[in-house]
A and B are shown apart, each in its own frame.
Chain A
Amino acid sequence: MKLSSRELNDLVILEPKGKIMGGPDATVLHDQLHEYINQGKRKVVIDLAKVDWMNSTGLGILISALTTLKNHQGELKLANVTGKIQSLLTITKLVTVFESYDSVDQAAASFK
């Protein structure tokens, strides 16, 4: 997995790319998220448009991001969830845990 990020006003958009399967992937997103939290950022969108698939480690990384932000009074939204990931979120019932949107713009507009 490769990870890039950008900021839009007070919003952070994380853009992973490739496959999220564990090993070195496990810490990359976590470390980047903590950097932003330390800078006072609390509104984060993970744009999954360029993620081919993820396994349970990838789902764990998303859950870790969600709980980390909640613990800092922040919010996490998902955008552009691709078919393979959507089906994993559905079969694991995590679809009930994450807020997801069809685009980054829609996710951005959903923050209060």
Chain B
Amino acid sequence: MKEDNRIIIPSSLNYLREVDEFVEEKLQEQGINPSLVADIAISVTEVVTNAVCHGNKNDPHKKVFISLKIDKDQVTVKIVDQGGGFDPRHLLNPLDEKNLLKEAGRGVFIVKSLMDEVKFEVVPNNGTTVVLVKKLSEII
């Protein structure tokens, strides 16, 4: 379901492309630098993937809510799932030599590298909220 600056999807990665198109279209409408659009889009797809797979555990009855706030100086994206709570503190270090060839486990690390602020609000058994902030000072 799409509203003005919000999209709600069922817990399936088949909707990931739809989320990306929604986010990129909204950012492009505001003339935001394509490189920043890509950073935000990559980060949103990472967090939505976690929300679907680790938060909602692919439960088709649960949804993921993505909302976008575009201000003059920053973009804020809020991603909320309805899962049991995803704890970002217990992640492996993807830069550790023994983890380099692992196929998964880099998502949160990449998001933290690309975004200016990343906040996790975990409510046990009541979902995870992730807030991403990207400053727009680099706009040309």
User: CB within 8 A of A63: which of B49, B95, B101?
Assistant: B101
Check if B100 sits within 8 Å of A55, measured CB to CB: no
Which of B34-42, B67-75, B120-128 sits within the interface? B34-42
Q: How far is the CA of A22 from the CA of B103 in the complex (A)?
A: 12
Cβ-defined contact, B38 with A63, below 8 A: no
Q: Which residues of B lie under 8 Å from residue A55 when comparing CB positions?
A: 42, 45-46, 49, 107, 110
Chain A residues with a Cβ under 8 A of chain B:
19, 21-24, 26, 52-57, 59-61, 63-64, 66-67, 84, 88, 91-94, 96-97
Q: How far is the CA of A88 from the CA of B82 in the complex (A)?
A: 30
Taking a contact as CB atoms under 8 Å apart, the answer to whether B103 and A23 are in contact is no
Complex CA gap A97/B12 in Å reads 31
Q: Which B residues from 83 to 126 make CB contacts under 8 A with A?
A: 94-95, 100-107, 109-110, 113
Known: A21-B17, A21-B20, A23-B17. A53 touches B41 (CB 8 A): yes
Whether the pair A56, B46 counts as a contact (CB closer than 8 A) is: yes
Interface size range on B against A:
20 to 34
Residues of B within 8 A of A94 (CB): 100
A53-B42 in contact (CB<8A): yes
Instruction: Check B30 for interface membership: any CB of A closer than 8 A.
Output: no
Residues of chain B contacted by A24 (CB below 8 angstroms): 13-14
Tell me if B16 counts as interface (CB < 8 A to partner A): yes
A21, A54, A63, A91, most chain B CB atoms within 10 A: A21
- In the complex, A96→B16 CA distance in Å? 29
- Provide the residues of chain A in CB contact with B20, threshold 8 Å: 19, 21
Chain B residue nearest in CB terms to A66: B101
CA distance A94 to B101 in the complex (A): 8
Nearest 5 interchain pairs by C-beta:
A60-B103, A23-B13, A56-B106, A56-B107, A23-B16
**Cβ-defined partner of B103 (8 Å) among A21, A64, A84, A88:** A64
- In whole angstroms, what is the CA distance A57 to B106 when docked? 9
The verdict on A84 contacting B107 (CB below 8 Å), with A53-B41, A55-B42 known, is no
Query: Which residues of A lie under 8 Å from residue B41 when comparing CB positions?
Result: 19, 53
- How far is it, in angstroms, between the C-alpha of A92 and the C-alpha of B104 when the chains are bound? 12
Inter-subunit contact B106/A53 (CB<8 Å): no
A88 nearest CB across to chain B (Å): 7
CA distance A19 to B38 in the complex (A): 10
Contacts of B13 in A (CB 8 A): 22-24, 26
